[in-house]
Amino acid sequence: MKQYFPFLLPGDSSRSHVFPDFMSALAVTFMAVPQGVAYAVIAGLPPAMGLYAASIPCIVGSFMRSSKHVITGPTNALSLLVAGAVAGMTQADPLSIGVTLALMVGVMQFGAGALRLGAFVDYISNPVVLGYITGAGLLIGAGQLPNVTGTLGGQGWLGEILWVWLKGLGATDSLTLIMGLSTSALILMVRRINRRLPSAIIALGLATTVSWLFGFHEKGLKTIADLAPIPQGLPPLTMPDLNLLSVLFPVAFACTVLSLVESSAVARSVAADSRQRLQLSVEFTGQGLANIAAGLFGGYPISGSLARTAINHQTGARSRYSGMMAGGMMLLILSVAGPVVNETPMAALAGLLLVVASD
């Protein structure tokens, strides 16, 4: 029974973990803001819901799942699935659809973990996991290319995304390109000097400072504020629309399976490097509780994020408290620090994601 309360297990309370966990949480938070906004827009939901889904649910997921490194929050694949439900139910409030789906997914995932169905994930072979990680990495990288060149981006399958990007290369913005490539180069250079240094924070902090000092935004360099300004205020308490339960059940079931497979694949990928032993049924219950939190606090269905988990692990996170700190920082940003994060160049974040996708 104790396994379902992983935060009680030894190994997470060392003082030596505090600084690396804090620096990893900073890097994750910098990435979570634009991703949360972008994924919510993809899902057809208010942008703020993506940030709400990366705050309290991230804390709950890090607290209750067995993996010490997986960062819970909105993802591209789940957002696309939710988008289908939102587009097909024009008569319903998108916010109600999102929170109702999250609660339904959470209850089903928690039930799957309580019934110890996590063992079924063992039947997913390593090549399948590797294929998912590789495919997700390619999509992450391809999706950021327009932000590096300042051109239009496509949607759909990988070939279409690349074709639309290639057709627009003639309109490449030189300032955006320099900012994106310089950020990637700086991250790689700092890593080469000392991998323990917070390369992502150094690069993003410098990019934001330079952009602000020289007025690059006025010269056409897009920032997070151009995508959607960060709203001010804590996530609201929300409740499901019971009238939507039967209509949303097929989508909720699909989201449940996708979220569990995605989260498990990410967790197993990191565990292979960190040598942590996972309890997959605990992964299920932890992910379920995180989705329930998303439904209660203005979010929508969430999963384990490949990009943010990779950043968390690569920047030296030692314990589950890095994810909890990241969720806390998101709450702080929603409360007071939105204007600062709004100044972060999208090209710099894209440069960071290109490095993550290549790792």
Task: Give 181-213 pLDDT, tens digit per residue.
Answer: 999 999 999 988 987 677 877 888 899 999 999
In a domain, 7, yes or no: no
In a domain, 216, yes or no: yes
**Tokens 């989201």 identify what position?**
255
In a domain, 130, yes or no: yes
What pLDDT was estimated at residue 160?
A: 80
Task: Give 252-296 pLDDT, tens digit per residue.
Answer: 998 998 888 888 888 888 887 777 777 778 889 999 999 999 999
What pLDDT was estimated at residue 201?
A: 77
For residues 138 and 56, which has the higher predicted lDDT (pLDDT)? 56
pLDDT above 90 for 79 = no
Domain that holds residue 298: 17-358
**Tokens 């992450």 identify what position?**
140
pLDDT band, very low/low/confident/very high, at 215 (cuts 50, 70, 90) = very high
Domain count, the chain: 1
In a domain, 101, yes or no: yes
With contact defined as beta carbons under 8 Å apart, do 97 and 85 qualify? yes
pLDDT band, very low/low/confident/very high, at 359 (cuts 50, 70, 90) = low
What pLDDT was estimated at residue 117?
A: 79
In a domain, 11, yes or no: no
User: If you average pLDDT over every residue of the chain, what do you get?
Assistant: 85
In a domain, 4, yes or no: no
pLDDT above 60 for 3 = no
Task: Give 217-262 pLDDT, tens digit per residue.
Answer: 999 899 888 877 777 889 999 999 989 999 999 999 989 988 888 8
What pLDDT was estimated at residue 298?
A: 95
What pLDDT was estimated at residue 303?
A: 94
**Tokens 């360099």 identify what position?**
221
Q: What is the distance between the alpha carbons of residues 63 and 133, in angstroms, rounded to a whole number?
A: 24
pLDDT above 70 for 110 = yes
Q: What is the distance between the alpha carbons of residues 4 and 354, in angstroms, rounded to a whole number?
A: 36
Six-digit token string for 174? 């030189």
Percent of the chain at pLDDT > 70 equals 90
Greatest mean pLDDT among 6-10, 34-38, 163-167 lies in 163-167
End-to-end Cα distance, the chain: 37
In a domain, 2, yes or no: no
Q: What is the distance between the alpha carbons of residues 235 and 256, in angstroms, rounded to a whole number?
A: 23
pTM of the predicted model as reported, rounded to 2 decimal places:
0.76
- For 73, phi then psi, to 5°, come to 170, -170
In a domain, 5, yes or no: no
